[in-house]
């Protein structure tokens, strides 16, 4: 089973790298987050990525940077004729900040991407695809030679990425190179934003249908078509994500945490938390308290 909290095991490494991973069978994806930063570059493929109540188009040349503990889902439309090919990296950003200090513009951009509260996670770097393909291939060769963990090599890779992002963004505005706020919200985004404001309350399909002025059947269908998942899965993911945050950052009782995220029945809250996280709320708190940044 895929759990919401998907911890990355570094086992002494500082940069986990996978280059050109290819999938040509069903790839529905699932809502999850990691304790570290995730880099995802799309070499080939179509689909969507959901993060911060927005849906971003996934296509060749897109770079996604997910902050630590940021809830997201990757949904790829895959077939043998249209495979999904990507490069992925996991890393703890604090390890590499000092290596970038000599490059103030790129260092500042790196800090925004890592810690910015309103920073968008999606960057259209299709105009820089040749440069990036070469950069990733070069780092992959270095990694195969056993030098992929060297600070200098990772720093060079990150500097190249920040340079491409800066160029795509013009260098004179926020790092939100791909910003969905300039278009009308999709139905699914309206639903996710409503859930963001009301997930601690009782939520029903009837409420959402009335809000959207649509039938319950159509609301369910359009959400699935646009996100690759159902509304219940998203609501559960959002509630459990907030519960995890409260368990790590507060001393609230398990019962109060459940109430604050929309589960007034403590037994049901414990059941749901264990089902999607893989541990009871108490065990999760004992393992991860203090780790949330």
- In this model, does residue 166 exceed pLDDT 50? yes
Percent of the chain at pLDDT exceeding 70: 92
pLDDT bracket for residue 33 (50, 70, 90): confident
| pLDDT value of position 235 | 94
Mean pLDDT of 263-283: 94
Which pLDDT does position 172 carry in this prediction?
43
Q: Model pTM?
A: 0.79
pLDDT at 54: 87
Whether 289 shows a pLDDT value over 90: the answer reads no
Edge-first strand order for the sheet with 47-51 is: 54-58, 47-51, 72-76
Angle, helix 216-227 to helix 231-249, in steps of 10 degrees: 70
Percentage of the chain lying above the pLDDT 90 cut: 69
Sheet strand arrangement including 37-44: 15-23, 84-91, 37-44, 62-66, 122-124
55-99 pLDDT, tens per residue? Answer: 899 999 999 999 998 989 999 999 999 999 999 999 999 999 999
What residues are paired with 76 via a beta bridge? 27, 47
Q: What is the pLDDT of residues 105-140, one digit of tens each?
A: 999 999 999 998 878 899 999 999 999 999 999 999
Given this model, what pLDDT does residue 173 score?
A: 46
Which parts of the chain fold into alpha helices (H)? 104-115, 129-144, 151-169, 187-198, 205-212, 216-227, 231-249, 254-260, 266-277, 281-288
Which of 122, 16, 28 is CA-nearest to residue 66?
Answer: 122
| pLDDT given at position 3 | 59
The pLDDT, as a whole number, for residue 185 is 79
Domains of the chain: 15-181 (2.60.120.10), 187-288 (1.10.10.60)
Q: What is the pLDDT of residues 176-221, one digit of tens each?
A: 445 555 556 788 889 999 999 999 999 999 999 998 899 999 999 9
Q: Within 10 Å of residue 110's Cβ, how many Cβ atoms? A: 23
- Beta carbons of 124 and 175 less than 8 angstroms apart: no
Regarding predicted confidence, which is higher, 5 or 154?
A: 154
pLDDT band at 35 (very low <50, low <70, confident <90, very high): confident
For residue 293, is pLDDT > 60? Answer: no
Least Cα distance to 208 among 182, 190, 181 occurs for 190
**Structure confidence at residue 138 (pLDDT):** 97
Separation between Cα atoms, residue 66 and residue 153, nearest integer Å: 21
Task: Say how far apart CA 289 and CA 287 lie, in whole Å.
Answer: 6
Q: Does residue 72 contact residue 32 with C-beta atoms inside 8 Å?
A: yes
Rounded distance, CA 182 to CA 289, Å?
A: 39
């Amino acid at each position: 089973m895929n759990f919401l909290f998907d911890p990355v095991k570094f086992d002494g490494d500082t940069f986990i790298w996978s280059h050109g991973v290819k999938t040509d069978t069903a790839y529905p994806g699932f809502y999850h987050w990691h304790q570290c930063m995730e880099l995802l570059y799309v070499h080939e493929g179509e689909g969507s990525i959901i993060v911060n109540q927005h849906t971003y188009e996934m296509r060749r040349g897109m770079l996604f940077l997910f902050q630590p503990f940021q809830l997201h889902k990757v949904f790829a439309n895959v077939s043998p004729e249209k495979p999904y090919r990507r490069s992925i990296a996991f890393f703890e950003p604090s390890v590499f900040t000092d290596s970038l200090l000599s490059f103030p513009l790129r260092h500042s951009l790196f800090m925004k991407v890592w810690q910015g509260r309103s920073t968008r996670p999606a960057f259209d770097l299709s105009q820089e695809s040749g440069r990036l393909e070469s950069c990733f291939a070069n780092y992959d060769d270095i990694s195969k030679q056993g030098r992929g963990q060297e600070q200098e090599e990772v720093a060079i890779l990150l500097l190249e990425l920040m340079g491409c992002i800066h160029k795509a963004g013009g260098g004179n505005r926020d790092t939100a190179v791909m910003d969905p706020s300039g278009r009308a919200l999709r139905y699914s985004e309206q639903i996710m934003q409503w859930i963001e404001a009301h997930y601690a309350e009782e939520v029903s399909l009837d409420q959402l249908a009335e809000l959207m002025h649509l039938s319950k059947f159509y609301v369910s269908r359009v959400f699935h078509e646009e996100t690759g998942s159902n509304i219940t899965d998203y609501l559960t993911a959002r509630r459990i994500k907030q519960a995890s945050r409260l368990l790590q950052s507060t001393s609230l009782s398990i019962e109060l945490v459940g109430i604050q995220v929309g589960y007034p029945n403590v037994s049901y809250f414990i059941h749901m938390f264990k089902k999607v996280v893989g541990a009871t709320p108490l065990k999760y708190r004992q393992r991860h308290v203090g780790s949330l940044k």
